[in-house]
Amino acid sequence: MTKPKATWNYTREYLEKSPVLRYNKELKKKRQIIQLTRTIKYIITESSEEAFTLEGSLIAAIKPPLNQMTWEYPLIEVTLGEAIPRVIITRQVSQTNSYIFGPFNVGTNIQTALTGFLRIIPLCDYAKPLKKGKSPHCFKGAFNQCMAPCKRPDQIAAYLYQVQLFIEQLEHQGVETIKKLERIMEREIAEEKFEAAAKSRDQLLAIKTLFDGKVIPLVLKKYMPAIQEILHTKTSLLKIL
């Protein structure tokens, strides 16, 4: 279980002889935990976000009988199975043939990073699937922030090319996107558009840290020695991790 410092008192209830209990189901579960506990081992992480990510990964691998929580982490999904692919942030993949980038830590600023990407590669991020000739009420096409292939069928081929460019940028850590955003920010500063420059700065920072935010593999790698010490007799679980 993951408990930040502020909730340590709640964790301590599991170890007390007469914990404060709210209802019988919780009482039964806590008694089972106390009866089955032989030793207590812990891993100290650098942040609550890392702790929750690590806990979710371990729960998924170990499947403890008294913790049936399901963990879902945010992803970037490119819906390649649709006639007009969209770029969305989701916690559950909607299509089997989508391109998936992630998963990310719950604290990762994906939306700001994605906004920065879409300034350079203007793709659709509409929440629902699009159909040719049936366009939603969307201001992005009107302001040239999207090629609007839903309204302009002649743009679909060019739009699909942009989709591939977007995927390539994700695969190459957004190098070209970062360069273009940096030039935009420099121009905004020169023109004394400081609020716009601040937004560009935030988007740049979010993109640069986005790739560090793919933390499920990174967190597992970071804390693997501690995990190995805890699961040293359960090599099959280490293979899953």
List, for residues 77-110, the tens digit of each pLDDT value. Answer: 999 988 889 999 987 776 778 888 877 776 678 9
pLDDT at 87: 94
Return the axis-axis angle of helices 110-120 and 194-210, rounded to nearest 10°: 110
Q: What is the reported pLDDT for 240? A: 44
Give the number of other Cβ atoms within 10 Å of residue 55's Cβ. Answer: 18
pLDDT for 45:
83
Radius of gyration of the CA atoms of the chain, in A: 23
Tell me what percent of the residues of the chain surpass a pLDDT of 70. Answer: 66
As a whole-number percent, the residues of the chain with pLDDT over 90 amount to 28
Burial class of residue 18 (count of CB atoms within 10 Å of its CB; 0-12, 13-18, 19+): exposed
Rounded to whole angstroms, the Cα distance separating 99 from 7 reads: 38
**Span 10-23, pLDDT tens digits:** 556 555 555 554 55
- Output the pLDDT for position 219: 67
Nearest to 185 by CA among 129, 120, 230, 102: 120
Instruction: Look at the pTM and tell me if it is higher than 0.95.
Output: no
Centroid of chain to Cα 36: 34
What is the model's pLDDT at position 142? 65
Distance CA 230, CA 38 (A): 13
**Residue 116 has what pLDDT?**
94
Which residues of the chain register pLDDT less than 50? 21, 235-241
Q: How far is CA 117 from CA 166, 173, 182, 192, 233, in A?
A: 8, 11, 12, 23, 45
What is the spatial distance between Cα 172 and Cα 236, in angstroms, rounded to a whole number?
A: 33
Return the pLDDT at 5.
Answer: 54
Interior CA angle at 231 toward 228 and 237, to 5°? 100
Q: What is the pLDDT of residue 239?
A: 47
Output the CA angle 157-141-170, nearest 5 degrees: 60
As beta bridge partners, residue 88 has: 77
Token digits for 81? 């199975």
Q: How do residues 169-190 score in pLDDT, each as one tens digit?
A: 998 889 999 999 999 999 999 9
Which residues lie below 8 Å from residue 94, measured CB to CB, with a gap of 6+? 77, 79, 88
